A and B are shown apart, each in its own frame.
Chain A
Amino acid sequence: MNWEVVIGLEIHAQMATKSKLMCNCDASFSSEPNTHVCPGCTGQPGMLPVVNKQVVDNAIMLGLATKCDIRKLNEFARKSYFYPDLPGGYQISQYDKPICENGKLEIEVNGNKRTIGITRIHMEEDAGKLVHAGSDNIKDASYSLVDLNRASVPLCEIVSEPDLRSAEEAIAYAQKIRQIVRYLGVCDGNMEEGSMRCDANVSVRPKGQIKLGTKAEVKNLNSFKAIEKAINIEVERQIDILEDGGEIIQETRHYNEATNSTKSMRSKEDAHDYRYFPDPDLVPLLIDDDWILKVKNLLPELPEEKKERYINSLSLSEYDASIITTEKETADFFEETISYGSKPKETVNWIMSEVLGTLNQNNLKLSETKLTPKLLAELLILIDKNTISGKIAKTILPEIIKTGKNAEEIIKEKGLAQVSDQGELKKIVETVIKENAKVVEDIKNGNPKARGFLIGQIMKKSNGKANPGIANELLNSLLN
């Protein structure tokens, strides 16, 4: 039997606003429980919600970036259920009037481009956190502790159409969403820390069948790797059941990374009647064309546009343009660097390998170092002018990153300038020839490798500073 996999992703992106959705508490992470709370987000009697305008702007931005229709008349609805991390006994969310609908996103997997539909994007409050005491899972804990720091932190829930057909596509889609929210600056997209959470709705059907199979919702996917593994194992589970003649139960399943398996959490059908109704403490949201235009003008250049622009006006290859635009921070750094005169292709290479390589080794972010676009540009220009070799430049870079000193200063301090002076180099080449008479013999006898050895010796004698091109020329002329 040929099975087709059908996946839809629900992504919750925590909005990086200063304050919460419905109160003025600090929305940033705090490791001390219940320090970013107030009577509002702890559901005290008599408290009332007021909408944070920035969250609406962020949702509109997200909608525009994913080519959604922005709804004109919006409502917030109460979603009712009882749980200790939900202080009001209801979550303020959006139900049948979500702010964005009918969007799309293009992904590429193994060279194949696909358009994935986005059903809707809506705004809602996050719930608090539970810490289960005496164990790391609910089942064996003897009690739980409620921390409401996260209660009412704003979320945008992005729901895709069930258009994804493989785990690879699901990851590509999730990565694209992550890239966009980071580009927009509305969310930092950190799955490990929970600022971006992903649930997958997975089903299978015989290839060619139009009707969708029964789906299961898979939760607890804390990384792209987990998304991939969970989807694959769930697909396997479902196919096994169906091939045995069984039926898939519509339910929520919890993914366990350690055992690489999914386990039933609860039945999606009978558990909850959320009793959605428009929140009577809030008034409708009317988004007119003026508002949308204002937000549109604030949109940064999106990754696809940037990539195209780099290919067309900077003559970068598709590959180079792609990798340098993966993160907005990197692309911005790149553009500023070449504005000081360095060459685009070289700049891309240097940023992607040397700069990011050094940073990753030391667990640093670009913004946490003393390296500036100007400093990098200066270094690259020095290489281009042959003042230093690329090799030497690579050794200088960590120092620049650490101290913020410019390349010229460091070169001077350490005497690293590339030696290109004919006279000085000639002396070195002559000395090397003299000291390696046997090798010179080998060369004359036609051994090409021996020549490389001499070049090596010249570099060594000059402490790596000899200009390779000129050293080669001199060696040739002095040997003959």
Chain B
Amino acid sequence: MTIDKDTVEHLAKLSRLHLSDNELLSFTKSINEILEYTKSIQQVNTEGVLPAIHALDLQNVFKEDEVINYKYIDKLFENAPDVENHSFKVPRILTN
């Protein structure tokens, strides 16, 4: 076992997922299986090898500093679950 139930529970918290007890067990099992399977890459000699973030070697891609106003802001709001005062409304944010 690479990771235990508690770790998976912590991961769920970090990624804002709420897992049932069954899900916790099931995910812990399947994730461990996959992690176990990936262990073989540790045997590959990667000394001096740079990590590949991309398949291709592009660099320095930019845009100019110019303003282009989006004309359909109201359409963006049509998908919003709860709106007030042209803002996205969310339930209260609890603090410690």
Contacts and interface: CB of A to CB of B under 8 A. Distances in A.
Contacts of B87: 33-34, 131, 145-147
Contacts of A284: 53, 59-60
Q: What's the dominant secondary structure at chain B's contact region?
A: loop
Nearest to B71: A38
B5 interface: no
A18 B61 contact: no
Contacts of B91: 143-144
Given A34-B86, A44-B76, A139-B95, A283 B69 contact: no
A146 B88 contact: yes
Contacts of A138: 93, 95
8 contacts: A26-B67, A33-B86, A51-B61, A53-B65, A54-B65, A131-B87, A132-B93, A145-B85
Interface residues of A, number: 51
A146 B14 CA distance: 22
Given A33-B86, A146-B89, A146-B90, 12 more contacts: A18-B65, A18-B66, A24-B68, A37-B70, A39-B76, A130-B93, A132-B93, A142-B92, A144-B89, A145-B85, A145-B89, A145-B90
A286 interface: yes
Interface string B56-88: 001111111111111001001100000011111
Interface of A: 17-19, 24-27, 32-35, 37-39, 42, 44, 50-56, 75, 82, 84, 130-133, 138-139, 141-148, 265-266, 273, 275, 278, 280, 282-286
Nearest to B62: A53
B96 interface: yes
Contact of A19 (B16, B54, B60, B65): B65
A88 B70 CA distance: 18
Interface of B: 14, 16, 53-54, 58-70, 73, 76-77, 84-93, 95-96
Given A35-B73, A145-B87, A145-B88, A50 B67 contact: no
A25 B63 contact: no
Nearest to A75: B53
Given A32-B86, A44-B76, A286 B70 contact: no
A284 B50 CA distance: 14
B53 A141 contact: no
Contact of A26 (B58, B62, B69, B77): B69
A24 B86 contact: no
Contacts of A54: 64-65
Given A138-B95, A141-B92, A146-B87, A285 B59 contact: yes
